[in-house]
Structure 1
């Protein structure tokens, strides 16, 4: 098992399932960082969530601490934006947010196209202080979709890897229906 700390800004059930399926043992973030350090963590996962990244300023120093001690960090969507701000990227609001499925992104290094699920209104601009590797760009508007670092053990991605649109999206409708006829 790989022990990770989840800093949860609105993690969806699909993400929990993916983490567990990949043999991660998840600890939810406690308010006291010293308790987190006793867990013998292998990494930190910073989740997606609603809203503008700067509304989560109270978490920036905690996340910066994990960046400083070079613990491996994985972050998606809002987490990606927060890590980007911590690494001195500029954040800007998109004219048209990225929402929905089949959002094409292109990996420059691998020369490969991916279709992703996205749900955000903010993005980042490249900065000159960061080493880039394995870059992904949106084919809709050429926005940067990830940052990786050769200095920090860090992977950030703007999309939602847990997004799995299809026949399972409304599976809970059966539970709601069952509640109606059991009343």
Structure 2
């Protein structure tokens, strides 16, 4: 393994070892508390521009395979782990994690005190860092980091979104149908891809919906015309990376969909963009929510759901002017779900498709289908 150097914007320097791609990368450091599912996390487009610190100390033992990716290409900057296991011991493994990271030019840094990094982020907040297998001089690392753009200044949506319209055909369909490729309903939704996880699209299909996926640069008027002609019946707004406040064009198009009274369901970034489109800005959390063990109370039925989460931004209490809060985080009380008062629109901040419960939250996709 090569030596690797991590310089944080607070001046903290670490020397470690690299088991992933070589080079120099700059990004925001966050921590994830999930006990499993590292391949899903690495390939989640919402981590674009970030280094993920795993609090699980042993990473790599299950290897990687072609079926556990959330997108074909990962977009995170790299991962920080306490101890890397290079020899996978799992019947589904097709290659080790090191080869996977090198193939996709993702950095992997090990032999780190990840407990210490997590404590630092928890106390000081998410922060930018530069990681290099090429530069060891602290002053050179500092200078390169200071001259680089911060994550909130970069539109990563343009990098992770599809470029052309697609039809999503994966997912489990209704077993009552003789033809398993036929969904249980004739309702069609347009899913706007801001960096959608594949399993979200799978869950929409499993709920019995035909799914048309459009890129982030969608034309709202085209969708409104399809809705008025009853060729589509609703819109889904996906998860995605970065600061939602810089997505000015996307917000303008969403506002047109809202004015047209089209039924809309949003998850994560989609949830945040709906708030902004209604005139209420989001706020950045100190260190975000990243993990598979976040308790959320459903205020409609009183149940507590164990949820998977991955976001650095949150909808504020101002949203109560136009929406009813349906879900709250039991860790910090932040808003996790809303239902708008005068529109057929609802959204959640967490990831109901990630199944940490394992099925605590999947009813949201059925709810969307029933609303249509």
Please name the residue that 2:367 is paired with. none
Deviation of the 1:32 alpha carbon? 3.5
Distance 2:302 2:353 in 1: 23
Runs of 4+ in 1 over 4 A off after TM superposition: none
- Is the 8 Å Cα contact of residues 328 and 336 (structure 2) preserved in structure 1? yes
In the alignment, does 2:226 pair up with 1:36?
no
Please name the residue that 1:11 is paired with. 196
- Is the 8 Å Cα contact of residues 340 and 346 (structure 2) preserved in structure 1? yes
| Alignment RMSD (CA, Å) | 1.8
Deviation of the 1:150 alpha carbon? 2.8
In the alignment, does 2:303 pair up with 1:112?
yes
In the alignment, does 2:94 pair up with 1:94?
no
Superposed, 1:63-74 pairs within 5 Å as: 63-74=254-265
In the alignment, does 2:341 pair up with 1:150?
yes
Deviation of the 1:110 alpha carbon? 2.0
Deviation of the 1:91 alpha carbon? 1.1
User: Unaligned 5+ residue runs, structure 1?
Assistant: 167-183
> How many residues in Structure 1 have an aligned counterpart in Structure 2?
165
For residue 59 of structure 1, give the secondary structure of its aligned residue in structure 2.
helix
- Is the 8 Å Cα contact of residues 33 and 62 (structure 1) preserved in structure 2? yes
In the alignment, does 2:196 pair up with 1:24?
no
Please name the residue that 2:351 is paired with. 160
Distance 2:281 2:224 in 1: 30
Structure with greater Cα Rg: 2
For residue 204 of structure 2, give the secondary structure of its aligned residue in structure 1.
helix
The 1:11/1:97 distance shift into structure 2, 3 A limit, reads same
Please name the residue that 2:321 is paired with. 129
| Cα offsets for 1:69-124 (capped at 9, x unmatched) | 11100000000000011122231110121001011011233221111110000001
- Is the 8 Å Cα contact of residues 29 and 36 (structure 1) preserved in structure 2? no
For residue 106 of structure 1, give the secondary structure of its aligned residue in structure 2.
strand
For residue 247 of structure 2, give the secondary structure of its aligned residue in structure 1.
helix
Distance 2:290 2:327 in 1: 17
For residue 101 of structure 1, give the secondary structure of its aligned residue in structure 2.
strand
User: Unaligned 5+ residue runs, structure 2?
Assistant: 1-185, 358-372
Deviation of the 1:38 alpha carbon? 4.2
| Cα offsets for 1:42-86 (capped at 9, x unmatched) | 100000011111122111111111110111000000000000111
- Is the 8 Å Cα contact of residues 148 and 154 (structure 1) preserved in structure 2? yes
